[in-house]
Structure 1
Amino acid sequence: MGQTHLSLSRFPHHASSLLKPLADLFAALRGNSVAIGLSGGADSAMLAVCAAELAHEYDIVLHCVHIHHGLMAAADDWQQHCQQLVDLLSQFHLSRIIFSPIAVSVDKQSGLGIEGAAREARYQAFLGYAQQHQVHHFLLAHHLDDQAETLLLRLLRGSGIKGMQGMREESVRYVDNALPTMSSGGEQSICYKEEDVADNTDGVLVTSNNKGYAVHFYRPWLSIERSAILSLADWFAKQTQWLAVQDESNLDVKYKRGAIRQHLAPVLNEYWCGWKRNIARHAHLMTEAQQMIEDLSAQDFAQLTPSEDRRSFDLKAWRSLPAYRQSYVLRYWLALHGVEMPTERRLQEWMRQLRGVHQLGTDRAVKLVHGEWVVSVQKGRVQLIVSGFVPSA
Structure 2
Amino acid sequence: MAPSSPPDDPLSDEGLERLFSSLNQASGIVAAVSGGPDSMALMHGLARWSSIERRPPVHVATVDHGLRPEAAEEAAFVAREAASLGLPHRTLVWTGNKPATGIQEAAREARYGLLVEHAREAGASHLVTAHTLDDQAETVMIRLSRGSGLAGLAGMRRETDRRGIRHVRPLLGVPKSCLLDRCREQGWRSVTDPSNADERYARVRWRRLMPLLAAEGLTAERLARLAERIAQADEALDLKAREALERSEPHREAGTLSFQGQIFTEEPFDIALRVLELALAQAGMDLENSRLHRLEVCTERLRQAAGAGEALSLTIAGAHLRLTSSGRVSVGPEPPRQRGR
Scaled by the length of structure 2, what TM-score is found?
A: 0.85
1:142 corresponds to which of 131, 146, 153: 131
Q: Does the C-alpha gap of structure 1 residues 315 and 107 become closer, same or farther in structure 2, counting only changes over 3 Å? A: farther
8 Å CA contact 2:148–2:292 kept in 1: the answer is: no
CA displacement at 1:291 relative to structure 2: 2.1
Q: In the superposition, relative to structure 1, how do residues 329 and 73 fare at CA in structure 2: closer, same or farther (>3 Å)? A: same
Aligned position for 2:85? 89
Quick one: which of 154, 162, 166 aligns to 1:216? 166
How many residue pairs match? The answer is: 326
* Corresponding residue number in structure 2 for 1:93: none
Show the counterpart of 2:220.
276
C-alpha distance in 1 between matches for 2:22 and 2:292: 43
Q: Is the 8 A contact 2:29 2:119 kept in 1?
A: no
With over 3 angstroms needed to count, the CA separation of the structure-2 counterparts of 1:323 and 1:137, relative to structure 1, is closer
After superposition, residues 124-203 of structure 1 pair within 5 angstroms as 124-174=113-163
Q: Deviations over 1:313-364 (max 9, x none)?
A: 1224534445444323212323445641632332243235434489585x6x
Q: Distance in 1 between matches of 2:298 and 2:22?
A: 48
Query: CA 1:130–1:385 in 2, change beyond 3 Å: closer, same or farther?
Result: same
Return the offset for 1:257.
Answer: 1.2
1:99 corresponds to which residue? Answer: 89
Indicate the SS of the match to 1:39: coil
CA distance in 1 between counterparts of 2:278 and 2:192 reads 42
* Residue 18 (structure 1) aligns with: 11
Equivalent residue for 1:350, pick from 298, 309, 322: 298
Instruction: Provide the identity percentage.
Output: 26
Unaligned runs of 5+ in 2: 337-341
Question: Which residue, out of 373, 376, 379, partners 2:322?
Answer: 376
Matches within 5 A, 1:1-393: 7-8=1-2, 10=3, 16-19=9-12, 20-24=14-18, 25-26=20-21, 29=24, 32-56=27-51, 57-90=53-86, 97-105=87-95, 108-109=98-99, 113-174=102-163, 214-237=164-187, 243-262=189-208, 264-272=209-217, 275-308=219-252, 311-337=257-283, 339=285, 340=287, 342-354=290-302, 355-356=304-305, 359=309, 361=311, 366-371=313-318, 373-377=319-323, 380-388=327-335
**1:104-161: CA deviation from partner (whole Å, max 9, x where unpaired):** 14764386x2221111111101111112222101111111111111111111111111
Residues 306 and 314 of structure 1 are in contact (CA less than 8 Å); yes or no, is this contact kept in structure 2? yes
Aligned to 2:330, what secondary structure does the other structure show?
Answer: strand
For 2:294 and 2:216, the matched residues in 1 are separated by 39
Change (3 A) 1:18 1:370: same
Partner SS state of residue 115, structure 1: helix
Question: Is the Cα–Cα contact under 8 Å of residues 68 and 75 in structure 1 kept in the other structure?
Answer: yes
Secondary structure of residue in 2 paired with 1:375 = strand
Per the TM alignment, residue 254 of structure 1 is displaced from its structure 2 partner at its CA by: 1.4
- TM, length-normalised to structure 1: 0.74
- Quote the RMSD (CA, aligned, Å): 2.8
Q: Distance in 1 between matches of 2:16 and 2:170?
A: 6
